[in-house]
């Protein structure tokens, strides 16, 4: 359950009671949401610092692995906090600001940060003009539209409509880690942006699924650390992880659709 759903559930439970002003004091879940936003900001800071140093040195080639691993790791931590804050809000209760804080934090961590990451990569790789900026802008706008649409939908469904923002952000950074030709990367990122605003359905990480997602994110952070430090087999593991992430992003909606059709089929 996301903070928005937790707040909505609390509002429904209180609908029969006298109307009270929402609690505006920050709760534990809200601090986790703020940690999400801070991770997104630090990812942008790490990328901007690395890009400035890279351009000042005059050395050709991509950004140092340590800087890229740091930025991606921070975005994965932000995604983990995004999963946790909803569960904490459900258990301990959330404030009236929870849903708004969650959307604002997601724009930073899963909109601005991956978009900036892609633009930095495309600028350094060169050869595509303003297309990386267009693709990065498409990601940012898709995240904003998706979050606005989610806020207007009734909670309670077991599925997200459109690719969730954290998954979309991770898909964008994995495209960069695979380091394809710039035009291929632009096309792939535009596809991710479309998936976020599409009607494709993705299962929500509830119950044991949430712990699975957290475990995968922790594994991803560990792999990024190994890759950034130049440990043996780091490149192979990163490429394998990136391929799995992109495969899941593309195939899960079709799996959900096939499962629903199988369930609806008369015996």
Q: pLDDT tier at 82 (50, 70, 90 boundaries)?
A: very high
Which residues does residue 148 pair with via DSSP β-bridges, in sequence order? none
pLDDT at 127: 67
Report the alpha-carbon distance of residue 213 to residue 200 in Å, rounded: 19
Q: What is the pLDDT of residue 26?
A: 83
The crossing angle, in degrees rounded to 10, of helices 98-107 and 28-57 is 10
Q: What is the pLDDT, as a whole number, of residue 105? A: 95
Q: Nearest CA to 76 among 251, 201, 238?
A: 238
Residue 15: its pLDDT value, please? 44
Rounded to the nearest integer, the mean pLDDT of the chain is 84
Mean pLDDT of 219-236: 85
pLDDT at residue number 263: 66
Q: Which domains does the chain have, with CATH numbers?
A: 3-12+23-264 (1.20.120.1760)
Statement: residue 31 has pLDDT above 80 = yes
Banded pLDDT at 189 (limits 50, 70, 90): very high
What's the average model confidence in pLDDT over 22-27? 72
Structure confidence at residue 156 (pLDDT): 63
**Res 153 pLDDT > 90:** no
- Residue 5 phi, psi (nearest 5): -70, -40
Q: Read off the tokens for 30.
A: 């809200």
The stretch 180-185 carries a mean pLDDT of 92
pLDDT level of residue 12 (50, 70, 90 thresholds)? very low
CB 168 within 8 A of CB 196: yes
Over residues 151-170, the mean pLDDT reads 83
């Amino acid at each position: 359950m996301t903070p928005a759903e937790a707040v909505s559930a609390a509002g429904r439970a209180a609908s029969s009671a006298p109307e009270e002003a929402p609690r505006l004091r920050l709760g534990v879940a809200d601090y986790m949401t703020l940690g999400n936003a801070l991770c997104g900001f630090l990812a942008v800071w790490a990328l901007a610092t690395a890009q400035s140093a890279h351009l000042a040195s005059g050395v050709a080639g991509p950004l140092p692995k340590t800087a890229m691993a740091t930025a991606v790791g921070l975005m994965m931590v932000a995604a983990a906090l995004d999963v946790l804050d909803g569960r904490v809000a459900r258990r301990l209760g959330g404030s009236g600001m929870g849903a708004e804080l969650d959307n604002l934090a997601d724009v930073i961590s899963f909109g601005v940060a991956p978009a900036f990451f892609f633009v930095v990569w495309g600028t350094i790789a060169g050869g595509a003009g303003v297309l990386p900026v267009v693709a990065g802008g498409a990601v940012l706008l898709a995240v904003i539209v998706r979050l606005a649409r989610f806020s207007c939908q009734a909670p309670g469904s077991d599925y997200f409509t459109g690719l969730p923002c954290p998954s979309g952000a991770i898909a964008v950074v994995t495209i960069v880690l695979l380091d394809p030709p710039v035009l291929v990367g632009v096309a792939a990122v535009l596809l991710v942006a479309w998936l976020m605003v599409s009607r494709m359905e993705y299962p929500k990480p509830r119950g044991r699924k949430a712990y699975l997602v957290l475990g995968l994110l922790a594994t991803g952070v560990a792999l990024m650390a190994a890759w950034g430090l130049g440990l043996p087999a780091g490149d192979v593991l990163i490429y394998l992880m990136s391929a799995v992430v992109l495969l899941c992003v593309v195939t899960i909606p079709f799996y959900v659709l096939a499962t629903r059709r199988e369930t609806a089929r008369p015996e």
